[in-house]
Amino acid sequence: MTHWFHRNPLKATAPVSFNYYGVTTGLPASKICNDLRSSRARLLELFTELSCNPEMMKNAADLYFSLLQGFINSPDDSTQESKLRYIQNFKWTDTLQGQVPSAQQDAVFELISMGFNVALWYTKYASRLAGKENITEDEAKEVHRSLKTAAGIFKHLKESHIPKLITPAEKGRDLEPRLVEAYILQCQAEAQEVTIARAIELKHAPGLIAALAYETANFYQRADHTLSSLEPAYSAKWRKYLHLKMCFYTAYAYCYHGQTLLAGDKCGEAIRSLQEAEKLYAKAEALCKEYGETKGPGPSAKPSGHLFFRKLGSLVKTTLDKCQRENGFIYFQKIPAEAPQLELKANYGLVEPVPFEFPPMGVQWTPETLAAFDLTKRPKDDGAKPKPEEEVKAVTEPDIKPQKDTGCRIS
């Protein structure tokens, strides 16, 4: 079963040379700076390489982060921060704010921002795989794993590193905790979509599928609520996506709950549940159109033309027709005025983020290596000669062509 996921753009960053003329007083220090520059550049390249896979991404990210740790923590096993933490200014754009960058002279800001982009890469890798026409079981597992990995990275950044920033993130910036929380919830919800597709394929009990769909809709609702106070100019498209997915999976829940009710000879209630599914499906369809017309970060798409969307519409219609036929021939039950309350709890298949930790500091870092950086030899700032601003160029992301049956473009 193919899937369709909304994706915000990758973060862009200004180049960093790690050249500290006069400050680096030995070959080991110079080599670390060269390795930092090259490993950072390579990691940035991999974000847009279609041939990149999770193993390549992990290796490249671990190399850069292990080197960067020496700019954050002291290598002598103490809890002291490194004297190099504030030596370099880093600039990053935000996923919702276009090309207006944030800048902080803080290696922790770099660690979090690059980590954020790694998490975004995992979501985009999952999206590319999930949009394939004939996704295999192994590929579905890879999608599921990648989304849980991304959720784990976002969660680790939010809980363990963002609180360490000297300058808190401004409203609507990526490192604002509620924005990170929205990304975590979206990853969990999308991973559960894969679980639901698998449960349907294996013909699990309708009650389990209904419960999973209901829990997934709740994830989307919580993510949408988290973004509710942001400016519509940059959050509206993302929120349309979250809202339409919430309606879509609530419709799923009512559809499969109706099947459970029918199996329990509650045909009248089943009809009412299917009618609610039909209503919510129509609402999701309207939101799909609004999503396509809404300007903002993210891909242009027509989700209502996607296979995953059309399948549910057909299922709701055939199940409702069956319930109405059986009620007319067998049950003759009254159809309730109110839709049944969904109080469904899934005991299996709920997604939790994969725990994540940054790699330990590289073995290149020793107290002697750190001592080879002499901060007293930093050039004095010359106000008469302002430094040229490093340009932050937009990331050119690969244009993924949709499969012929998807009706959308996966970013």
Asked whether residue 222 is domain-assigned, the answer is: no
Q: Helix H segments across 264-332?
A: 267-293, 307-326
Confidence of residue 400 (pLDDT cuts 50, 70, 90): low
Which amino acid is present at 199? A
CATH number at residue 24: 1.25.40.280
Spatial separation of the C-alpha atoms in residues 408 and 400, rounded to whole Å: 10
Query: Residue range 73-99: average pLDDT?
Result: 90
Q: Which two tokens stand for residue 115?
A: 């980590």
Spatial separation of the C-alpha atoms in residues 113 and 2, rounded to whole Å: 31
Query: Residue range 297-306: average pLDDT?
Result: 65
Cα dihedral 76, 362, 395, 164, rounded to 10, equals -30
pLDDT of residue 293: 87
Distances (CA, A) of 277 to 105, 165, 272, 365: 52, 46, 9, 59
Query: Residue range 152-161: average pLDDT?
Result: 98
Judgement on whether residues 338 and 360 belong to the same structural domain of the protein: no
Asked whether residue 214 is domain-assigned, the answer is: no
Judgement on whether residues 113 and 78 belong to the same structural domain of the protein: yes
Query: Residue range 145-162: average pLDDT?
Result: 98
Beta bridge partners of 90: 104
Confidence of residue 407 (pLDDT cuts 50, 70, 90): very low
pLDDT of residue 390: 66
Confidence of residue 397 (pLDDT cuts 50, 70, 90): confident
Whether 19 has a pLDDT exceeding 90, the answer reads yes
Range of the domain at 37: 1-203+351-410
Judgement on whether residues 64 and 8 belong to the same structural domain of the protein: yes
Distances (CA, A) of 55 to 42, 45, 61, 139, 301: 14, 15, 10, 15, 30
Asked whether residue 220 is domain-assigned, the answer is: no
pLDDT of residue 238: 95
Asked whether residue 15 is domain-assigned, the answer is: yes
Asked whether residue 218 is domain-assigned, the answer is: no
Judgement on whether residues 113 and 247 belong to the same structural domain of the protein: no
Of 347, 362, 397, the position where a domain reaches its end is 347
Judgement on whether residues 21 and 136 belong to the same structural domain of the protein: yes
Spatial separation of the C-alpha atoms in residues 178 and 190, rounded to whole Å: 18
Judgement on whether residues 72 and 182 belong to the same structural domain of the protein: yes
Judgement on whether residues 89 and 196 belong to the same structural domain of the protein: yes
Query: Residue range 241-259: average pLDDT?
Result: 95
- Closest by CA position to 278, among listed 318, 232, 329: 318
Of 320, 347, 374, the position where a domain reaches its end is 347
Judgement on whether residues 404 and 312 belong to the same structural domain of the protein: no
Whether 402 has a pLDDT exceeding 50, the answer reads no
Judgement on whether residues 168 and 281 belong to the same structural domain of the protein: no
Whether 385 has a pLDDT exceeding 50, the answer reads no
Judgement on whether residues 276 and 160 belong to the same structural domain of the protein: no
pLDDT tens digits, one per residue of 50-80: 999 999 999 999 999 999 999 999 998 767 8
Structure-model confidence comparison of residues 272 and 41, the more confident one: 41
pLDDT of residue 189: 97
Spatial separation of the C-alpha atoms in residues 168 and 11, rounded to whole Å: 18
Whether 336 has a pLDDT exceeding 90, the answer reads no
Neighbours of 192 (CB within 10 A): 25
pLDDT of residue 93: 96
Structure-model confidence comparison of residues 183 and 320, the more confident one: 183
Query: Residue range 101-105: average pLDDT?
Result: 94
Whether 46 has a pLDDT exceeding 90, the answer reads yes
Asked whether residue 221 is domain-assigned, the answer is: no
Asked whether residue 210 is domain-assigned, the answer is: no
pLDDT of residue 319: 86
Judgement on whether residues 51 and 198 belong to the same structural domain of the protein: yes
Structural domain count of the chain: 2
Whether 131 has a pLDDT exceeding 80, the answer reads yes
Confidence of residue 387 (pLDDT cuts 50, 70, 90): low
Beta bridge partners of 13: 92
Confidence of residue 394 (pLDDT cuts 50, 70, 90): confident
Whether 188 has a pLDDT exceeding 60, the answer reads yes
Query: Residue range 273-293: average pLDDT?
Result: 91
Asked whether residue 197 is domain-assigned, the answer is: yes
- Average model confidence (pLDDT) for the chain? 88
Of 326, 347, 368, the position where a domain reaches its end is 347
pLDDT of residue 312: 79
Confidence of residue 133 (pLDDT cuts 50, 70, 90): confident
pLDDT tens digits, one per residue of 359-374: 999 999 999 999 999 9
pLDDT of residue 379: 75
